Structure 1
Amino acid sequence: MSSPPVVLVTGATGCLGAHTVLELIRRGYRVRGVSRSREKSEAWNAAYPQQACYIEWITIPSIVDLEALDRASIGVDYIIHTASPFNFDFEYNLEDMLVPSVVGTRNIMRVAAKRPRVKHVVIVSSLAAVVDHREGLNPERQYTPNDWATASWEEAARTEDAVYVWTASKIFAERAAWDFMQEDSPHFSITTFCPPVILGPPGQPFEHFDDLNESTRQHWSIISGEAKSIPAAFFPACVDVRDL
């Protein structure tokens, strides 16, 4: 009897990553989960004891650590890359947002190219890489894979507009993946998902509501009364994390 395929999942203890891991296990895959700390992976196992035997945890504090990611990719059949910084309270545009997003994605492509066993790579991008939120929703327009939002690396590196920096990080990270496909013609294929704001029940373990992922935490601040007013929806479109 052949062993089930192995899927490497980055950001496995995040909101989307946790739901992805649970769905993979439900469908019969083995999972190798990348976590930033041993505490996070142990908390995941404690929250899902029945599923814990189907996941092997690899601790990689930074997704820009190519050597560690290379070791984690040994013996995997597929890669799902959900890890990417998403918050608007960062200090340094380049070090905290732009570089980890782009280099992290490029690293995923590089390690996959080294592993003949890898058949397919999934990268979670964002609708922000497709649609310029400053132009608002355009329900009459049909977007295609040829549509890209625009951003300048130079402006993203120096601006104080946190939303612009995050948007730029998604654009340049996804472009890095497609550029790799075009320039290196690797043996595997890729899919990029470009979701809008991700909402829904948190699948990841958390001790305090402040530990929630950015989009869920913002909604909790409204429900709990912490927010003094309802914040502006800079792009009023969303998807349920379970659907994604």
Structure 2
Amino acid sequence: MKVLLTGGSGFIAAHVLDILLEHGHEVITTVRSQSKADAIKSAHPNIPTSKLDFRIVEDIAQENAFDKAVQSLPDLEAVIHTASPFHFNVTDTKKDLLDPAIIGTTGILKAIKNHVPTVKRVVITSSFASIIDGSKGTRPGYTYSEKDWNPVTLEEAVQNPANGYRASKTFAEKAAWEFVEKEKPNFTVSTMCPPLVLGPIVHYLNSLDGLNTSNQRVRNLITGQCKKEIPDTGTYIWVDVRNLALCHVKAIEVAEAAQKRFFITAGYFSNKEICEIVRKNFPEYKNELPGEEVKGGDYPEGGLYKFDNSRTTEVLGIKFRGLEESIVDLVKSLKSVGA
């Protein structure tokens, strides 16, 4: 299949790219700069341009940002849209988070509908942030699933960056489903809603400073930044990036994935458990890690919400990796960039 992957140098997208190539698809990926394209190309030296090519899209928040890229791909069959901002160093929530997420998502959908009628499948990276109701706290006894939507409002979204991030994912995903409903395009949409995404980084695209937000917590542990107290876990469910990447690819390959949301999680974890896994497998970090007596980072005392990930396992056929494997592989990959 001929597939456009947006944001190809991102943490999740780099793994999606590897799996697309493994599955024999022809991949064109958007990146923000030529240097990013060069880094990806040099990491896949034996793959010809006919199987891996690039388009530069500098700013996905600009109107019509994707038009030129898709117009140059007349026989495109599928699009996997992973490009979206995720960081908390935000000065203007609307400009820095909401607009890029929403305009980026609706922009790619409009570009596909207007310029490449051959596209049949579109997959969009959303988030558990668009499912969870943050105002309800840990919500013991409640089971989250694809039917849930974060009820965050625009007024709440601009109060702080955490609200802004959750709202950006919620509004962008809702905008995608509204687009399908109103515009009745030739293509189907599937959305991927993962919680915290852990697992190995693709080293040629990363430095210790340039990590995705989810993996920063592990970097902070092994670089001695949490010796006195283990930080609160925050989000207590996770998925390995390789499982999540496979879900994106399966969603263009499996007919039953069309027009569905997928809540993609392997289960529970805590920062304290991560500490214990690193301590057990990497004795060389003993002096950087919080001591065994250090408090914090555990599960909440009153219990936690439950989750229903059955659609992901049944429709996409995913078998989830365990936390230990994911953290061990992540730490090994961080060592490769100097941790």
Q: How does the TM-score come out when normalised to structure 1?
A: 0.90
Q: CA deviation at 1:207?
A: 5.2
Per-residue deviation, residues 32-61 of structure 1 (Å, max 9, x unmatched): 101011111111222332346421111111
Larger CA deviation: 148-157 vs 163-172? 148-157
- Conserved in 2, the CA contact under 8 Å of 1:201 and 1:241? yes
C-alpha separation in 2, matches of 1:221 and 1:105: 32
Q: 1:148 maps to what in 2?
A: 149
State how 1:166-185 maps to structure 2 within 5 Å.
Answer: 166-185=165-184
Q: 2:279 maps to what in 1?
A: none
1:123 matched to 2:129: no
Larger CA deviation: 89-98 vs 139-148? 139-148
1:58 matched to 2:59: no
Per-residue deviation, residues 41-100 of structure 1 (Å, max 9, x unmatched): 111222332346421111111112343411212321101011111111122111111100
State how 1:48-197 maps to structure 2 within 5 Å.
Answer: 48-51=44-47, 53=49, 54-73=51-70, 74-75=73-74, 76-114=76-114, 115-137=116-138, 140-157=141-158, 159=159, 161-197=160-196
Q: 1:216 maps to what in 2?
A: 215
- Conserved in 1, the CA contact under 8 Å of 2:8 and 2:14? yes
C-alpha separation in 2, matches of 1:29 and 1:140: 42
Per-residue deviation, residues 117-172 of structure 1 (Å, max 9, x unmatched): 00010001001101124434557544443310111113322x1x221110010000
C-alpha separation in 2, matches of 1:226 and 1:124: 31
The higher radius of gyration belongs to 2
Per-residue deviation, residues 208-241 of structure 1 (Å, max 9, x unmatched): 2001111112321112113454322221110000
Where does the alignment leave 5 or more consecutive residues of structure 1 unmatched? none
C-alpha separation in 2, matches of 1:189 and 1:133: 29
1:30 matched to 2:26: yes
CA RMSD of aligned residues (A): 1.8
Segments ≥4 residues shifted beyond 6 Å:
none
Where does the alignment leave 5 or more consecutive residues of structure 2 unmatched? 245-339
Q: 2:12 maps to what in 1?
A: 16
- Aligned-partner residue type, residue 61 of structure 1: E
Which secondary structure does the structure 1 equivalent of 2:209 belong to?
helix
Pair 205,136 (structure 1): closer, same or farther in 2 beyond 3 Å: farther
Pair 204,113 (structure 1): closer, same or farther in 2 beyond 3 Å: farther
Pair 106,204 (structure 1): closer, same or farther in 2 beyond 3 Å: farther
Identical columns (%): 36
The count of residues paired between Structure 1 and Structure 2 equals 238
- Conserved in 2, the CA contact under 8 Å of 1:22 and 1:51? no
C-alpha separation in 2, matches of 1:200 and 1:131: 22
- Conserved in 2, the CA contact under 8 Å of 1:120 and 1:188? yes
